[in-house]
Amino acid sequence: MKPAVQPVLAARRDPGVSLHNTTATLCESVSSTPSSKHSPRAAGSGEFCFSRSLDTVIIPVALSLRETILRVQIRDLPLTVKKQWRKVRLFHFLFEMLEDPSMAHCVSWVPAAAGVFRFSSRNKDQVAALWGLRKGNKRPMTYQKMSRALRNYARSGEIFKVKKKLTYQFSRDTLVSLQRHQHTQD
């Protein structure tokens, strides 16, 4: 376990979880025997689970305790950090860009009521670069890569390609969901 987690264990105790096994106990009982990846009787029983990676030693970790630690850590984080952990979806990002008046030179609604939007032919790569930064990519995103992702959304029914150049449309359900989500944040 990471040292930063130890104060969390001492400070918070959930009533449903027994904490008689402390972090020190867990860290002291390191086994170096190469056994199976998981103990067969550990799953869901509150007993120890032996986790192993290729470059580390086997360290027993209580399943219910690990879940509690994660829950406490996430609950104590600021809201902005929690949002960053969530997987960013391209159609959410595009909706944010469309609702931002300062991005109208890059992407804009054609008829907003129908959920149709168009990328600017001159600034389409700027939107793609911003999308790459938002995702945390190390290399810059190009419009070609982003448009491939948009085409993949057509399979799931969230965004469709319109026959006009650089033009796409949100599905009715997706658009309603995005608008509802926006109103709950305001």
The CATH number given to whatever domain includes residue 112 is 1.10.10.10
**Of 50-54, 121-125, 166-170, which range is least confident?**
50-54
Q: Which of 23, 53, 83 is the last residue of a domain?
A: 83
Q: Can you tell me the distance from the alpha carbon of 186 to that of 178, in angstroms, rounded to the nearest whole number?
A: 13
- Mean pLDDT over the full length of the chain: 70
Would you list the DSSP string of 98-109?
Answer: HH-GGGTTTEEE
Within this chain, do residues 75 and 142 fall inside the same structural domain, yes or no?
Answer: no
Range of the domain at 96: 87-185
Within this chain, do residues 75 and 43 fall inside the same structural domain, yes or no?
Answer: yes
Higher pLDDT, 8 or 153: 153
Length of the chain: 186
Indicate whether 123 pLDDT > 70: yes
Indicate whether 54 pLDDT > 90: no
The pLDDT of residue 127 is 95
The pLDDT of residue 40 is 46
Instruction: Please state the domain count of the chain.
Output: 2
The pLDDT of residue 184 is 78
Q: Which of 60, 83, 106 is the last residue of a domain?
A: 83
- CB-based contact 131:121 (threshold 8 Å): no
pTM for the model stands at 0.53
Within this chain, do residues 115 and 176 fall inside the same structural domain, yes or no?
Answer: yes
The pLDDT of residue 86 is 64
User: Do the strands 159-161 and 167-170 form a parallel or antiparallel pair, or are they unpaired?
Assistant: antiparallel
Within this chain, do residues 140 and 161 fall inside the same structural domain, yes or no?
Answer: yes
Indicate whether 57 pLDDT > 90: no
Indicate whether 146 pLDDT > 90: yes
**Of 10-19, 80-89, 123-132, 154-163, which range is least confident?**
10-19
Within this chain, do residues 77 and 91 fall inside the same structural domain, yes or no?
Answer: no
Within this chain, do residues 94 and 72 fall inside the same structural domain, yes or no?
Answer: no
Q: How confident is the model at residue 113 (pLDDT cuts 50, 70, 90)?
A: confident
Indicate whether 65 pLDDT > 50: no
Q: Which of 83, 100, 124 is the last residue of a domain?
A: 83
- CB-based contact 65:19 (threshold 8 Å): yes
Q: What is the distance, to the nearest Å, from the Cα of residue 99 to the centroid of all Cα atoms in its chain? A: 22
Within this chain, do residues 66 and 131 fall inside the same structural domain, yes or no?
Answer: no
Q: How confident is the model at residue 139 (pLDDT cuts 50, 70, 90)?
A: very high
Helices 124-135 and 143-156: angle between axes, nearest 10 degrees: 70
Indicate whether 149 pLDDT > 60: yes
Within this chain, do residues 97 and 77 fall inside the same structural domain, yes or no?
Answer: no
